[in-house]
Amino acid sequence: MDFIPLASPDIRDADIELVNQVLRSGMLIQGAYVNKLEGEFRQITNTGAAIAVSNGTATLHLALKVLGIGPGDEVIVPAFSYVATANVVELVGATPIFVDIDLATFNIDVAGIEEKITSRTRAIIPVHEFGLACDIASVCVLAKKHNLFVIEDAACALGATQNDQPVGSFGDFGSFSLHPRKSITSGEGGIITTNSPAFEQKLRQLRNHGIEMEGGKMIFEEAGFNYRMTDIQAALAYSQILRLQTILKDKQRLAEIYFNEIKREGIVLPYVPKGMNHTWQTFHVLLGEDLDQAHTIQALRNENIGVNYGAQCIPAQKYYLKKYELDSATLFPNALRAYQKGIALPLYEKLTDKQISAIAQKVNKL
């Protein structure tokens, strides 16, 4: 069997042709395709505005900037996610406050949020981990009660819904990534959604050096960033987003093969609660007691299957451990378990049913 990488974007001739069109036009920076891509995101997420930026982390950073969150403020984040979710809180000088996850869904344990809220808490960044919607409706109820902002980290979850409402439309902001590991890609890229015209204006301004146009004149209203997306990147993602529903359907079909064919005792398959849909950015399983994570990853790689661990227990990472000295084993046991026992299996549009079956058989032989 040829090597199957953990992830590989499905770039088609039509995608390449559209990128070529942009290259031939000479209009390379933020322009027509950025606008088109923003329009598609606005529709898919059913939000008032979508703003394209240079990557997913930048969307989270901008949201915190727009809210004026900084030193002395606390922001609640799940203990298990990609580190960017917490890094942006550090980046603005605020303090991430970790909440453990639910081991069935790998999403934030909503019941654990309220006890972490203090007079300094300003916002919650719930993550729709691995492409599965978290219980964002309940997070928003809590946030409203305590007057907190909600920034949905939907980096992995374009197209996910809770009770048919798209993620990215529940909170004050929805944050999406277009990294090649996500369902559609622009190489690097991110989209931030919001229903607030005031937030939209600030986001567009901060994306572009803090510039506000007044009577055809540039007013430098803030010390902003260059977080713009190029039209080259936007054309690549725009071409793919037009077939998003097909991509998600294909991934669902492949996931079902894993569900039907992985029978290895002790391995816990993903769980999708009622009312949620999973977009399968990652097919993440938990290993049984008898399977060591590093050995299992190596064993499957030896079989030409590119598996890896799924996400990080963030407070256990070097920077966070040194700064906050939190004992994850007692404070975030589920996050630590997911970090130490979770593995991600390949699942993407380019794989065939046969390849998924072959992977399932190798997993059964572990």
Task: Kindly state the smallest distance separating residue 190's Cβ from ligand PLP, in Å.
Answer: 5
Which residues within the stretch 29-68 sit at the binding site for ligand PLP (CB under 6 A)?
55-57
The Cα–Cα gap between 116 and 124 comes to 11
From 149-157, 229-237, 335-343, 349-357, give the range in contact with ligand PLP by CB under 6 A.
149-157
How do strand 217-220 and strand 190-194 relate by DSSP bridges?
Answer: unpaired
98 is a contact residue toward ligand PLP (CB under 6 A): no
Task: Kindly state the smallest distance separating residue 56's Cβ from ligand PLP, in Å.
Answer: 3
Provide the 3-class DSSP secondary structure of residue 347: coil
Which residue of this chain has its Cβ atom nearest to ligand PLP in the complex? 56
131 is a contact residue toward ligand PLP (CB under 6 A): no
Task: Kindly state the smallest distance separating residue 179's Cβ from ligand PLP, in Å.
Answer: 4
Q: How many CB atoms lie within 10 A of CB 326?
A: 16
Chosen residue from 49, 62, 127, 335 binding ligand PLP by CB under 6 A = 127
153 is a contact residue toward ligand PLP (CB under 6 A): yes
Which residues within the stretch 154-183 sit at the binding site for ligand PLP (CB under 6 A)?
155-156, 177, 179
Handedness of CA 318, 324, 326, 328 (dihedral sign): negative
> CB-based burial of residue 27 (10 Å sphere; 0-12 exposed, 13-18 middle, 19+ buried)?
middle
DSSP class of residue 283 equals E
Task: Kindly state the smallest distance separating residue 153's Cβ from ligand PLP, in Å.
Answer: 5
Q: Which is nearer to ligand PLP, 112 or 189 (CB)?
A: 189
Give the CA distances from residue 178 to residues 198, 299, 321, in Å, rounded to whole numbers and listed in that order: 25, 31, 29
- Token pair 């922001």 is found at 75
Residues in touch with ligand PLP (CB under 6 A): 55-57, 81-82, 84-85, 127, 153, 155-156, 177, 179, 190
